Amino acid sequence: MSTDTRADEAASATTDNEVGPDDGILAVESLRKEFGGLVAVDDLSFAVQEEEILGFIGPNGAGKSTTFNCVTGTYPPTDGTVWYKGEEVTGTPPHEMVKRGMARTFQSFAPLEDRSVLKNVALSMMDDKLVTMDGLLGEFHDEARAICERVGLGDRLYQTPAELPHAGMLRLELGRALGTDPDLLLVDEPFAGLSGPEVESVSDLLLELRDEGMTLVVVDHNMRGLLQLIDRAIVINFGSLLAEGSPDEITDNPEVQEAYLGGGLE
Amino acid sequence: MSDKSTSRLRLLLGQLNPLGLPLRQKIGVLGLAFLIALPLLVSLPVVGQFVVLILPASSWELGLYNVAAALFFAMFAMSWDAVSGYTGEISFGHGLFFAVGGYTSAMLNMGHGFSPWISVLGGVLLAAIAGVMIGVPALRIEGPYLSLVTLVAPLILLQVFIFMSDIFGGEQGLGNPENLVGLGFVSNYFLALGLFVAIFTLLWALTRSNTGSILTAIREDEDAVSAAGLSKAKFKIFAFVLSGAIGGLAGAAYVHTPVGSPTPSELMSVIVNVEVIIAAVLGGMGTIVGAAVGGLFVAMLPDYLNLVEFTVPVIGKSISSMSFFLFAIVTLFLLNIFPGGVLRWGIALGRRATGRDGGDEGMAADGGQSPEDAGTNPVAQTMERYQEYYDNMFGGDDE
Ligand SMILES: Nc1ncnc2c1ncn2[C@@H]1O[C@H](COP(=O)(O)OP(=O)(O)OP(=O)(O)O)[C@@H](O)[C@H]1O
Ligand SMILES: [Mg+2]
């Protein structure tokens, strides 16, 4: 086993498509996900380094969300291996991944419609315990309130998700993810539908989180808004890796340009 | 740490001061005080006669029996609410748990000579195991499919009871197991009331703690619960086991009183299964309080109707002979005007009257529910949940 791993590492140094458990805080090797006959993720390998902000880019339907649904345990992968913090976690259920320190936001927003912003965030902070005195005496959710303020919802604590504007929903997604106190945060298409200033303020928040030691993966279907934010980008198309490198390298890459038919990337 | 616990203690003491309670809780405390004082009140000279007038029977002895039976029924309704009202997985056969509890306890007592107190514990244990047996499949089968399972399970049990009637007594049931506290009207009344208060307190505390918020979150969106790092499987099974154990406890204690006996019609008939749901939904699904109040109402309404001597002219039937029919009509009527349950409506009304808007704290006390927004009341949530399953069943797409 250990010789195997070493062989893998040696291979990764040369061929660049073999990833092992210690290649990053998150390491994904030959991940494959099929839905019936459709191959949504096709033998994809990549690694995420601690405290980086990685852009995870690809055209619509490229398999970005599916990749992260497999990584976070929402879907069982058809094949491949996922390591998180050096441990194999392939197929671990979502709530276990959250407990291990991996949080995500949902592209299609999944707040609890029946309760306030504050209570949505408070739910993320609850312990996974069956019987507890917590909450019984109606204590104020100080920490939940602090997170709401942090993501810019301080003045909307008692509104329900339905009352929030689009940007507010995204902020709530971030708040709910931060409530679980993650080390790695997967943000699925945060900038879709945001105005310029909103993109900027969300970017500032993400940068701030990174400065505090968090690792971030930001999914998007183009580079808009990402250039200032990310350290490195991975581009996928049809479920497999197309390019990898600094933002400049990516925008100059002819294959990437072709995938986007000469436009749309910026 | 100790700072936190002293501030908690202060909060707790604040909550126990009856004068500081919101109006609805004051009403609850008064209602409870009335129930506790009831046996004393009926024995007072003049007051007693007035109190008997409002009891659902013509004498105080029967009145206490009927209220005791209603208290047991309210416990059944609360046990249903703990799982179905909170997680949104609707059980159409909760009588399964009452019957497992009641029959197990009766058989331990009658067949094996255990004291009724020990037998009741056995009933609780087996009902909790029945909770596991429904709760574990509930992780894979959900929504309408699970409801079918809960619908069929007690029917199978009933067939077993009939098929092996030498052991289970068939439709007739098991006769009369030994009573926990003899035949006394007052002692049995207090047994029922004590158990009612204990179960209510347990469920109320549990559902007002974080556990309650997590269970209602399961009803609203299971993925959001997982994304919060909470094991929905664990909480779902817990809800089923807790509900089974409590339903079993109520069923077991019930058969060891003069007001109830271990028969299919009392513990697991379709009528019992449906009435339990009606009681909880009518009172206010997902509130425990609603199930308690709704349970008392649903159990006592026919008793009251039975007292009415009046004969409806044209059809020549007396009110008392149509009590179940009238009960169903009243229920349909109430469900139509209070879709979120009478409790939620009452709270909203009270807030408007007292000028309190509830705010954050008020919402916390109702288990994460704001009474005003009808669109997200538990019944609507559950409907939406079921709608999704039907859409999928008939080939809708996955999103
Ligand atoms: N649950 C599912 N069942 C069947 N097919 C699916 C499912 N989820 C995704 N797919 C398919 O897998 C492919 C990849 O989808 P995915 O959502 O991962 O793309 P994406 O890169 O996130 O795109 P977008 O930018 O639109 O979010 C698509 O063809 C999609 O239709
Ligand atoms: Mg996507």
| Domain assignment of residue B28, yes or no | no
Hey, where are the domains in chain A? 3-101+182-261, 110-181
> Residue B55 corresponds to which tokens in the numbers above?
């009891």
| Domain assignment of residue B20, yes or no | no
For A198-213, write each residue's pLDDT tens digit.
Answer: 999 999 999 999 999 9
For chain A, percent of residues with pLDDT exceeding 70:
90
**Minimum mean pLDDT among B22-36, B294-308, B312-326: which range?**
B312-326
CA distance B229 to chain A (A): 4
- Substitution site in A38, A66, A189 for ligand 1 pocket (most atoms within 8 Å of beta carbon): A66
CB contact under 8 A, A123 and B230: yes
| Domain assignment of residue B33, yes or no | no
- Substitution site in A32, A38, A71 for ligand 1 pocket (most atoms within 8 Å of beta carbon): A38
B374–chain A Cβ distance below 8 A for any pair: no
Flag whether pLDDT at A12 surpasses 50: no
**Minimum mean pLDDT among A165-169, B60-64, B82-86, B230-234: which range?**
B60-64
Q: How confident is the model at residue B329 (pLDDT cuts 50, 70, 90)?
A: confident
How much is the average pLDDT of A223-250? 88
**What's B354's domain CATH number?**
1.10.3470
| Residue A58 CB less than 6 A away from ligand 1 | yes
Domain total in chain B = 1
Mean pLDDT, chain A, rounded, equals 86
The ipTM estimated for the assembled molecules is 0.85
Q: How far is the CA of B19 from the centre of ligand 1 (A)?
A: 57
| Residue A57 CB less than 6 A away from ligand 1 | no
Flag whether pLDDT at B193 surpasses 80: yes
CB contact under 8 A, B227 and A177: yes
| Domain assignment of residue B29, yes or no | no
Output the pLDDT for position A42.
Answer: 92
**Minimum mean pLDDT among A77-91, B43-57, B192-206: which range?**
B43-57
Output the pLDDT for position A140.
Answer: 57
Query: What are the C-alpha distances in Å from B131 to residues A233, B96, B127, B168?
Result: 50, 9, 6, 21
CATH of domain A3-101+182-261: 3.40.50.300
| Domain assignment of residue B353, yes or no | yes
**Ligand 1 atom at minimal distance to the Cα of residue A33:** 12
Output the pLDDT for position B357.
Answer: 52
Mean pLDDT, chain B, rounded, equals 84
Contacts of B59 (CB under 8 A, 6+ apart): B52
Q: Domain of B330? A: 56-393
A261–chain B Cβ distance below 8 A for any pair: no
**Ligand 1 atom at minimal distance to the Cα of residue A236:** 21
| Domain assignment of residue B27, yes or no | no
